[in-house]
Chain A
Amino acid sequence: MESIPFYFLAALAVLAALGVVVMRDPVYSALALAVVLTALAGLYVLLSAPFLAAAQVMIYAGAILILFVFVIMLLSPGREGDAPRGALKWQRPLAVIFGGALVAQLALVLLMTILPTGRGLYTPEYLAQIGSTQAVGAALFTDYLLPFEITSLLLLVAMVGVIVLAKKKS
């Protein structure tokens, strides 16, 4: 039931993620990233988090990615330049080897671990009943009030910072 969409979305996400990393043209990378983000939104739906799926599409695909595309257009970087000779000779093979090693390590841990199902309040059924939007919202404004406020400061800082960096010299 869950497995067919999972494998489909997972494959899509992995392929698109590889696309982000290997595409020569940054615009294509951005589009591949959009595919990854959308596939993840689909997975969130499978994981009983439809609110997050919506937020993911709106914030990530809608706002963040557009920003990326804007900047790509602004800088019009074109194709990637050559790496400086010598200094970074081993960069690519080592990166792939150790990236693979990281996956292997995490896979090893996952093979050794069987997580018991928790006995929390928010079973998928309960979430479906009250709606995940309400559940997240309620938690956000009660237990997670402080993190929420910190996040608001963070966005303010980002705003101030961007203005500082972009402002014309007076």
Chain B
Amino acid sequence: MINSLWLIPALPLAGATINAIFSRKLPRWLVSVIACGAVGASFVVSLLAFFAMQSTDEHHRVFNVSLFTWIPVADFKVDVAFLLDPLSALMLLVVTGVGFLIHVYSIGYMDAERDDGYGHFFTYLNLFIFSMLMLVLGSNYLLMYVGWELVGLCSYLLISFWFHKPEAASAGKKAFITTRVGDFGFGLGVLLIFTTFGTLDFADIFAHAKLIDQSLITIITLLLFAGAVGKSAQIPLYVWLPDAMEGPTPVSALIHAATMVTAGVYMVARSHALFELSPFSSEVVAWTGALTAIYTATIALVQMDLKRVLAYSTISQLGYMFVAVGIGAYGAGIFHLMTHAFFKALLFLGAGSVMHAMNGIIDMRQLGGLRAKMPRTYITFLAAALAIAGFPFFAGFFSKDEILASAFATGHTAIWVIGLITAGLTAFYIFRAFFLTFHTEPRWTTDDRRPLTEDDSHRSSVNGHRSVHPHESPAVMTIPLAILAVLSVIGGFAGMPKVMGANFLEHYFEPVFKPHDLHLAASTEWMLIGASVAAGLLGIALAYWFYIARPTIPVTLARRFSGIYNLLWHKYWIDEIYSWLFVDKGYRLAMFLWQVLDVKIIDGAANGLGRATAALSRVTRSWQSGYARAYALMMLIATVIVLGWLILR
């Protein structure tokens, strides 16, 4: 079975090829069957490979299947070779499994798309799965780079899928520019690895890493991490991800939440042998993750666009994963990657379902009260929200807890505190979004303002009317939701803390990562669990208080100095603290972070880079004056300079 590993990427590639060529001639149902079938079959093969791997002796669970020599260079060669070990196997399952569900969901979601757009969409989606699998399976940095570049390309194409929307076009451009900055670092890292080790093969590099000067390893790992920062949207290169929500929602779910953006985490985990040798780089990784986590969670507090809440949340959760791999808890990072893939994909698909029902409206100011209209979406969204909020025994609870416990155990108390606060913020913003969408008074019958975001402007331009008739999405969309909901509920049991039972995952990763023993007393561990549960519950409770129980708080506070103030002082003192903490100062801080730091500075730098290059381009083109004599003069000047240099040296 392991020899058939090549089938895993080959199947989606075949699907992409067939749909690229024939999708115009084929009926729609066949296009979708081919696309979903290819990914589904790939999932089945991955599953078989997984079991084949698990059935072998646990010390030999690393398989290197070399297909052929790809590029021979002087005295070494790069093979097209696939690496199957517990790390890549888990990633395979996540990518193909979640990918398959999202493919199925897309059948319903993209139904309104015109014919060739439909075919193109599935072609890109299959191509993306192929690229992601190459990234995951490659057994050397060059193949990983291949996948890395290709997923970026697919991401760029899919963000701009609705190209006629100017936001989509500029979002695509921004994603391109920002991730390129990171890719440059990654490319240099690979180049430096090549000069240092004379090979690009993972096994060879990791075997010899200990012989290399530590400062060199630090440079290499920092360069690699630069790539991860771009691809996985960390500070300061995260700006592209919120804008990437202009793409179709299944794309946001698949690429910009569940899989591609986690490539950076995977890459760092894959290169753990290098990162372990450089404590400095690891600290950089952990702190970047921690700061990103809390910073973007803060921004998520004040977003009104549901998808943008989820986008900032994704960045924040990716920050958690980098905290994990930065402090050496690689297994915990990958564990969170997996659970996050379940619940974040589910959140996005739920949001997509809402948009489907609401004619593309995604602004929460125009949602509300959808619970009764969309019960299946409601309940699955709730499961995902509980999971991400770290509600006990849901998937996110276990993975987030393991990361926080590891941070505490490794002495990163500050990071632990940040993580804990972020957990509270996370619970708050996700339930804020949940309540505003599904509970509260419906705001869509009375509000006639134009929707802020039109995911599918085809549909809304056709139905230019304002009255919406929310309805539950078809089964082809809700069944994937249900499956993901189940996974979001039970997915965490794979990595239970030791105090609650056996940690299957930790043992599972042993062939790849050193066992990461926390050395925590049971009581400490319980205390840590309690703290994170408390943070999560507090967040949920505050969201409930603010948006359900006391929806009039802001109004009341405005009348603080009227007569009612004295009367109700006793009752409202908690509101006072709350408002100070979360509404007044907190709100201002979040708005400041978003509108100044995010939009002006970091975003501005990304745009500025593009503008500067464009200006340079205009200058260089103005030299091309069209006058042959001017060209000849410049040639003469250059000649004199070249000769001068040669003579005077």
Contact between A and B in the complex (any CB pair below 8 Å): yes
User: CB-defined interface of A137-162 with B at 8 Å, one 1/0 digit per residue?
Assistant: 00000000000000000000000000
Query: CA A105 – CA B640 in complex, angstroms?
Result: 8
A129 located at the interface, meaning its Cβ lies under 8 Å from any Cβ of chain B in the complex? no
B390 vs chain A, min Cβ distance (A): 68
Q: Given the complex of chains A and B, what is the CA–CA distance between A56 and B208 in angstroms?
A: 71
A160 to B178, CA, bound (A): 54
Contact A102/B636 with A108-B647, A109-B647 known, Cβ cut-off 8 Å: yes
Query: Which of B32-40, B150-158, B626-634 is the interface stretch?
Result: B626-634
Residues on B with C-beta less than 8 A from A95 are 633, 636
| B600-649, CB < 8 A from A | 625, 627, 629-630, 633, 636-637, 639-640, 643-644, 647
Inter-chain contact A91/B630, CB cutoff 8 Å: yes
* A91-B629, A91-B630 known; A102+B640 contact, CB < 8 A: yes
A97 to B625, CA, bound (A): 21
Q: Give the contact-size bracket for chain B.
A: 10 to 19
**Nearest chain B residue, comparing its CB with the CB of A90:** B633
Contacts of A98 in B (CB 8 A): 633, 636-637, 640
B627's contact among A88, A99, A102, A108, by CB below 8 Å, is which? Answer: A88
Q: How far is the CB of B241 from chain A (nearest CB, A)?
A: 46
B263 to chain A, nearest CB (A): 50
Report how far A98 CA is from B643 CA in the complex, Å. 12
Q: Inside 8 A of A101's CB, which chain B residues have their CB?
A: 640, 644
Query: CB of A115 within 8 A of chain B?
Result: no
Q: How many A-B residue contacts, CB cutoff 8 Å?
A: 31
Residues of B within 8 A of A105 (CB): 640, 643-644, 647
Interchain CA distance A108-B633 in the complex, whole Å: 22
Q: Mark A22-34, 1 if CB is under 8 A from B, else 0.
A: 0000000000000
Verify B636–A99 contact, CB threshold 8 A: yes
Which residues of the partner chain A approach B637 to less than 8 Å between Cβ atoms?
A: 94, 98
Q: Does A130 contact B (CB under 8 A)?
A: no
Which chain A positions have C-beta within 8 A of B633?
Answer: 91, 94-95, 98
Closest chain A residue to B634, Cβ basis: A94
A93-125 to B contact mask, C-beta < 8 Å, 1/0: 011001101100100110000000000000000
CA distance A98 to B644 in the complex (A): 11
Q: Given A105-B644, A108-B647, decide whether A87 and B627 contact each other with a Cβ distance below 8 A.
A: yes
Contact partners of A109 in chain B: CB under 8 A: 647
- Chain B residues numbered 35-80 whose CB sits less than 8 Å from any CB in chain A: none
Return chain A residues, CB-CB under 8 Å to B643: 102, 105
Proximity string of chain A (1-12) to chain B, C-beta cutoff 8 Å, 1 when within and 0 when not: 000000000000
Contact A87-B640, Cβ < 8 Å, known A105-B647, A108-B647, A109-B647: no
**Min CB–CB distance B80 → chain A (angstroms):** 46
A84 to B647, CA, bound (A): 36
Known contacts: A98-B633, A98-B636, A102-B636. The answer to whether A87 contacts B625 by CB under 8 A is: yes
| B636 contacts across to A, CB distance below 8 A | 95, 98-99, 102
Q: Mark B523-541, 1 if CB is under 8 A from A, else 0.
A: 0000000000000000000
20 A-B residue pairs with CB within 8 Å = A84-B627, A87-B625, A88-B629, A88-B630, A91-B630, A91-B633, A94-B633, A94-B637, A95-B636, A98-B633, A98-B636, A101-B640, A101-B644, A102-B636, A102-B639, A102-B640, A102-B643, A105-B640, A105-B644, A109-B647
- A binding-site residues for B, Cβ under 8 Å: 84, 87-88, 91, 94-95, 98-99, 101-102, 105, 108-109
Q: A102-B636, A102-B643 are in contact. List 6 more A-B contacts (CB 8 A).
A: A84-B627, A87-B625, A88-B629, A88-B630, A94-B633, A105-B647
Sort A-B residue pairs by CB-CB distance and give the 6 closest, nearest first: A101-B640, A98-B640, A98-B636, A105-B643, A98-B637, A102-B640
